[in-house]
A and B are shown apart, each in its own frame.
Chain A
Amino acid sequence: MKQQQVKLISLVMVAVFAISLVLAACAVPATAPSAPAGGEAASTDVAAPEAAAPAADSNFKPVWYAPAPHPYFEEVRKGVEAFEAETGIKVEKQIGPDWNQDSQNQRMEALAAQGFNAFSVYPADAVGTNGLYEQLTPNGIHIINFGTSTAQPTTASFAVATDVKAAAMRAAEELIAAMGGKGNIINVLEVLEDPNTALRKQGIDEVVAKYPDVTIIQEVADIKSVEEAVQKVGDALSANIDKVDGIIATGYTPSVAIAQVLSEYKEKGGDRTIHAVGIDTDEMVMQAIKDGVMDGTIVQNPYGHGYLSMLLLQYLSEGYTPKADAYFVDAGFAFATQENLETYNNDILAVTEQIKSELLDKYLEK
């Protein structure tokens, strides 16, 4: 009897392995088309020997690392790929399995062991990632945060990211302008554990304080998923449906939620005019702007996060050092509305070009 059970278990195991093999095989064609650079970029496995070929850059072996699959990282990757195309330098691009500091540590340590010496990283944990950096940087490895910064002090050389407070203030200004300078606002914040959330709240509060006729009647926060966001935005709207004039979101999930809830509200014949401003360019948000349900959205510069961080790494490898006090590189943002839906992408590219041209003067010295 026992023997039979053992046989069965091993059969199941074999089946599981077989399935995972098939899945792994399927996964390759799934990623290939999303990498427009074609055959050259797809063969990341043999990156190291290939990268060794251009002798001039043999001491510059860069890595771009994102902790988990996310649409934002796909946008950033485009910037990295543009950098590759321009310079001919091969970048090892890795996306981890989850938002876990531990996974990030293991993978990055492995990459460092393989001889990679320049990292552009989205930190999984603002504090925890510093520990990893402190291990890597003494070995002459340069690290740049993209997308968000690690907590200060840090051994990362730069952070290339959106100035979240400035973005929040711009969003608030745009919303208040759309409301005609008066009315009641619901402020939807996102993850409370993120210290940036407090900065965004500060920015919005500061702007609102300038307008005596504008009040924040409700704050909603502690949102970790779109599901939670939809529920909370819905709750906040219905709690204030007789007095709300505007709603603002400074995080991705609540922006999607606002697009969903307001579209449905309008669809069902809701008659109150509610102005709305969000962040990022999720398709639902862009659709809502097109339909006139939302007024606009803050467009961050993920392309720039990727491109500029790689460029900075290259400069660092060439012997440049960060100027004193230079750390935060504001990658800028744009504001998309119904009017500039077709052109905002150019705006944001122009921002990148602008920053690129100032990079050496403003942030680096030799």
Chain B
Amino acid sequence: MLQIRHITKSFPSVRALDDVSVDFAPGEVHAIVGENGAGKSTLNKIICGIYTPDAGEVRLDGATIHLHAYKDALDRKINLVSQEIQVIPKSTVAENIMLDKLDRYLAGGRIDWRRINADAARYAEMVDLTAPVTQPVAVLSAAQKQLIMIARALSSDARILIMDEPTSALTRHETDNLLQLLRRIKGEGVTVIFVSHKLEEVLAVADRVSVLRDGSLIGTQPIARLTKEQIVQMMIGRDARTLGLGALTVDAGPPVLEARGISQTGRFHNVSFALHRGEILGFYGLVGSGRTELAQILIGEDRKDGGEVYIEGKRANIQSMADSLFKYRMGYVSENRKEKGLILSAPIQTNIAITVWERLRDRFGSIRLAAETATARDFMQKLEIRATDPGQTVGSLSGGNQQKVSIAKWLAAHCDILIIDEPTIGVDIGAKEYIHQLIWNLAKVEGKSIILISSDMPEIVNLARRILVFKDFAIVGEVRNNGENGAPVRGYDEVSKEIGQYLA
């Protein structure tokens, strides 16, 4: 029986856990859910001895235990399968599974590889890992590597097994198999602590669920008493809004942006589309289907071999993002905000004002710092960016807030056309909803013309009334859901089905 009592843990800028107490019973799968930054990972790391709590205690079978390193936890048969994949690429599957117990296989100063391979194969089979145990790990898929980590934990005869997002890299089949495995090992009296974003999995496998929000425990409940909606409500502190944002009137005049016959050798051939003022145009497709690649051509980051782009009816000559921004007021929110969208080491104000420094100069050409701060504050307020002040570095913000910053710089630049690429990847539920509302308002209230690129079906069906479906660098279909006054005429299921038909 593992109990944690009144655990509190602070980091320099945030209180990660605040007086949290939970009991974990033997033979149960105990799910821990919460938004990003709610404190799930911190809790895990305290149970594993990677962090020591500022206050409170961890008890095992009624006695207080003091863990100072992960090794202390391992000695007590507490094992962690971490979110990050930690394998040694050049070593074999067997070696990786038995990594922490190689010393048990010493025979006369040599490692008994035959015995290791035999034992490792047993655990590999348990987790449904089909790759031969003598194969180097480097050639395996992410899912297979994840399975190795799970097998490693199992081979340690863990009493308490903590799994932090174990299914994030797994396929559907592998996930089902893992959940089956968890049910089996809990039958052997093992406590499984299961952390996951995927509430379907939680509902399927957990016996009880504890919900964390902002470092505090909102409650622990048997799973049978909760619905998915109730869990979400506990996580974000209010009711989740249902899909459907209503009608979006689109300007009937000539298109704001029109692509005619765009071609790029080996990729695009004669691709055309039009974007109207106040419209949210969806680009749907799988990664690599040409959505982002077309956007790169539009903003001048990649060259086209044929075709023309017209903006406001005039032929546009865009050679770089600088042209796109300064000549045509077209902005691009990158799908990879950490690597391409933001300067993580720079403060919020730099990241927001970077597009508008020209405007913030005084008559001697110096940037007015006060104006820069004011601009940043303005958008922090408008977009509800949660940070202490505009001088805080962007790297220290949560994913959702980072995304808001990367949108804000284009709003500051008064961009009329916005290409928004995968706006809600790695963003938690509350922030995701907020960003959807924001994109909606940009089009509906401010009349911006938006191209929304997404592989998130509900997101694109919810926001866009016209969706271009991409496959193999071509637009294979256009799905319309705009009736009278731009109101949606069909439900989610019907629209998503039509999109699916084009992709098939």
Contacts and interface: CB of A to CB of B under 8 A. Distances in A.
A4 B303 CA distance: 11
Contacts of B18: none
Contacts of B119: none
A4 B302 CA distance: 12
A55 interface: no
Interface in A1-41: 1, 4
Range, interface on chain B: under 10
Interface string A233-252: 00000000000000000000
Contacts of A4: 303
Interface string A36-64: 00000000000000000000000000000
A262 to B, nearest CB: 47
Nearest to B305: A1
Contacts of A1: 302-303
Nearest to B264: A1
A353 to B, nearest CB: 71
Nearest to A3: B265
A174 to B, nearest CB: 61
Interface string B220-260: 00000000000000000000000000000000000000000
A1 B303 CA distance: 6
A4 to B, nearest CB: 8
A130 to B, nearest CB: 42
B300 to A, nearest CB: 12
A201 B302 CA distance: 67
Contacts of B302: 1
Nearest to B304: A1
Interface string B278-304: 000000000000000000000000110
A281 to B, nearest CB: 55
Interface string B197-214: 000000000000000000
A4 B264 CA distance: 14
Interface in B293-333: 302-303
B305 to A, nearest CB: 8
A1 B264 CA distance: 9
A114 B451 CA distance: 72
Contacts of B303: 1, 4
A163 B302 CA distance: 69
A274 to B, nearest CB: 51
A1 B305 CA distance: 8
A306 B378 CA distance: 79
A8 to B, nearest CB: 13
Interface in A145-172: none
Nearest to A4: B303
B362 to A, nearest CB: 40
B301 to A, nearest CB: 11
A145 B303 CA distance: 63
A1 B296 CA distance: 13
B296 to A, nearest CB: 11
Interface string A93-128: 000000000000000000000000000000000000
A8 B303 CA distance: 15
Nearest to B302: A1
B418 to A, nearest CB: 25
A1 B302 CA distance: 8
A4 B304 CA distance: 12
A5 to B, nearest CB: 10
A1 B306 CA distance: 12
Interface string B40-60: 000000000000000000000
A314 B385 CA distance: 87
A211 to B, nearest CB: 63
A336 B303 CA distance: 72
B297 to A, nearest CB: 10
A39 B302 CA distance: 58
B319 to A, nearest CB: 12
A330 B302 CA distance: 71
A91 to B, nearest CB: 57
A174 B307 CA distance: 87
A342 to B, nearest CB: 63
A104 to B, nearest CB: 40
Nearest to A1: B303
Interface in A213-259: none
A6 to B, nearest CB: 14
3 contacts: A1-B302, A1-B303, A4-B303
Q: Which 3 A-B pairs have the closest CB atoms?
A: A1-B303, A1-B302, A4-B303
Interface of B: 302-303
